[in-house]
Amino acid sequence: MEEKTLEYQSPWGTENVQLEINSYMNNKGLYIGMLSKDEDGFEPYGDMTVNLSEKAPDYCAYLDTNNMSGIEKFVVDNDLGEFTGFTQKSGFCEFPLYMFNVDKLRELCPDGMQAYEKSIGVKKTPEVKEKAR
């Protein structure tokens, strides 16, 4: 299944990016990165999320507003998640906590979400469909 791209407005122009989803090794927190597309394929563009001392709840992550200009607008405009109202300080920066849209992330990066959910112990139950009579 091919993963989809989104347009990210950076201070340097528009980038077509693909999401990369995984979990942080030390606490299994949600990691979301961006890959940019060029003529040779995809290469790392930047980290949307930041790993802080306190693990965010499952399906939540702190956005790296320090290094990714406009990342909150990108998340909201693409229906990727919403601000929880909570922040965490680290050094001189304060990072907003976002709850991510699980269905949208599964649509955009199914393999990454499967790996993340496996790391946090989420077991997918098969859909039970009623038999036609």
Q: pLDDT by residue (tens digit) across 3-26?
A: 589 999 988 889 999 999 999 999
pTM for the full predicted model: 0.87
DSSP string, the chain: -PPPEEEEEETTEEEEEEEEEEE-TTT--EEEEEEEEETTEEEEEEESEE--SSPPPTTEEEE-TTTSTTHHHHHHHTTSEEEEEEEEEETTEEEEEEEE-HHHHHHH-HHHHHHHHHHTT--PPPPP-PPP-
Domain map of the chain by residue range?
Answer: 5-119
Q: pLDDT by residue (tens digit) across 51-93?
A: 998 889 999 999 999 999 999 999 999 999 999 999 999 999 9
pLDDT for 1 equals 44
